[in-house]
Structure 1
Amino acid sequence: MEDTKMNAAQDIQIADMDRARADLYNFLGALLASPPDEMLLAQTGSLNGDATELGQAIGMLAKLARVTKPKAAETEFNKLFIGLGRGELLPFASYYLTGFLNEKPLALLRQNMAAKGMQRSETVFEPEDSIASLMEMMAAMIVGRFGPPAELAAQKQFFNTHIGPWAGHFFADLEEAKTSVFYTPVGTVGRIFMTVEAEAFRMSGTE
């Protein structure tokens, strides 16, 4: 009986950890999909960090969110990702991995999306390999938005194929971008989180 209780507690702990991972993926996706509105800035400002490197980065982001106005965040977002013709950064896997948009990494992602029953929203017009979309897809796999929650091996394969090879570089560029102010700690949070995820998958031993 004691072992059963212990196993149940471990299952809950693992589920909570996965939920926290999915929440952070979704959070990054929301910040990178469009300029944060007043509600998202308020939610970000209410976050609490801890003594870990990731927790400290979240604390810094929360502190900055409390003094950032929606209009300032929108202006920064547009300069970073939209601009006149193009923004300071091009947040797409194809660009980071090949130097061009709409290349083989996007085609491979579309194949994997179809296999997993994922479809691009009709309201989204940019390529599916944007950093925002990939963060949201990873969250969806973890919590099972497209069917049962993905096994750790499937999460690892998706991460190692579509996110791991370039997302850390993108987030580091976001930290250092000339236009970044509010988005500097967003880059820090993303970069550290990608490192944590990559290391966790590496140590998992799953194929």
Structure 2
Amino acid sequence: MSIAQPIVMSAPDAGEELARAEIYGLLSSLFFAPPSAELLGQFQVAVTEAPEPGGFLERPWQDLVAAARASDEPQAAAEYEALFMGVGKPEVFLYGSFYMAGYLHETPLVKLRSSLGELGLARDAAMQETEDHVAYVFEVMRYLIAGDDLAVCNLERQRQFFRAHVQPWVERFCETLAQHPGAGLYRQVALFTQAFMAVETQAFDMLE
């Protein structure tokens, strides 16, 4: 499957599930590649107030929007390249196997591929990144929320995938990224992602 097209949070009256799917899609886009001029333009008009003032995600979302509005396409691209695409070892790894096993292409990736096979999903042959790339696992979550196949696109499948392939490492990845001195825009991306992961974790806790 392919990475989601750039999207932003829906208006406050959007359904909760649609909003969740769109957040995963947005984060997938931001981690897969630096934001395009079009996506940065969407941030210029993005809604920044939650339906209920003081919502848990409201402040980190406002901070992310402010950082995106203060950035431009060349700046964002330069930051992305410096953080994630360094020659040799990148400053910040984007792959789950690194955070769970300490190395790339290890057992967590094998387990992830097995889970994807059970869901009937496979990596797009044109995609160079491995399936444990944070953008890919977020895109899978988006699919499990918004997809049409109810046999796999349901809350229980979301919970299982999140517990096995998202929750064990994304928070540590966000902490690493947020603390990096070279992160500006992507510090706010990391902090918003971290807050969203906390909301998702709590919601899945309530299912158990």
TM-score by length of 1: 0.87
Q: Please list the CA deviations of residues 8-62 of structure 1 after superposition, one character each: whole Å capped at 9, or x if unmatched.
A: xxxxxxx921111010000000000001110111112322333323111111111
Answer whether contact 1:35 1:73 (CA < 8 A) is retained.
yes
AA aligned to 1:194 is: M
Measured after TM superposition, the shift of residue 178 of structure 1 is 1.6
AA aligned to 2:59 is: Q
AA aligned to 1:69 is: D
Give the secondary-structure state (helix, strand or coil) at the position aligned to 1:199. helix
Answer whether contact 1:96 1:166 (CA < 8 A) is retained.
yes
In the alignment of these two chains, the number of paired residues is 190
Work out the CA distance in 1 between the residues paired with 2:43 and 2:24: 14
Answer whether contact 1:45 1:64 (CA < 8 A) is retained.
no
AA aligned to 1:41 is: L
Matched, 1:37 2:40: no
Work out the CA distance in 2 between the residues paired with 1:173 and 1:53: 22
Pairing partner for 2:115 from 112, 116, 119: 112
1:12-51 correspondence to structure 2 within 5 Å: 16-50=15-49, 51=54
Pairing partner for 1:191 from 191, 194, 206: 194
* Larger mean Cα displacement after TM superposition, 20-29 or 117-126: 117-126
5+ unaligned residues in a row in structure 1: which ranges? 1-14
Give the secondary-structure state (helix, strand or coil) at the position aligned to 2:21. helix
1:82-161 correspondence to structure 2 within 5 Å: 82-144=85-147, 147-148=149-150, 150-161=153-164
Answer whether contact 1:18 1:143 (CA < 8 A) is retained.
yes
Q: Please list the CA deviations of residues 110-142 of structure 1 after superposition, one character each: whole Å capped at 9, or x if unmatched.
A: 111111111212221111101110111100111
Measured after TM superposition, the shift of residue 197 of structure 1 is 0.3
Which residue pairs with 1:10 in the alignment? none
Please, what is the CA RMSD of the aligned residues?
1.4
Work out the CA distance in 2 between the residues paired with 1:191 and 1:174: 11
- Name the structure with the higher helix share: 1
AA aligned to 2:92 is: L
Give the secondary-structure state (helix, strand or coil) at the position aligned to 1:204. coil
Runs of 4+ in structure 1 deviating by more than 3 angstroms, as ranges, are: none
Q: Please list the CA deviations of residues 84-135 of structure 1 after superposition, one character each: whole Å capped at 9, or x if unmatched.
A: 2132111111100010000111001111111111121222111110111011
Work out the CA distance in 2 between the residues paired with 1:141 and 1:66: 30
Pairing partner for 1:179 from 174, 179, 182: 182
Work out the CA distance in 2 between the residues paired with 1:103 and 1:46: 42
5+ unaligned residues in a row in structure 2: which ranges? 1-13
Give percent identity, aligned residues only: 32
Answer whether contact 1:68 1:182 (CA < 8 A) is retained.
yes
1:59-74 correspondence to structure 2 within 5 Å: 59-74=62-77
Work out the CA distance in 2 between the residues paired with 1:198 and 1:110: 22
Larger-Rg structure: 1
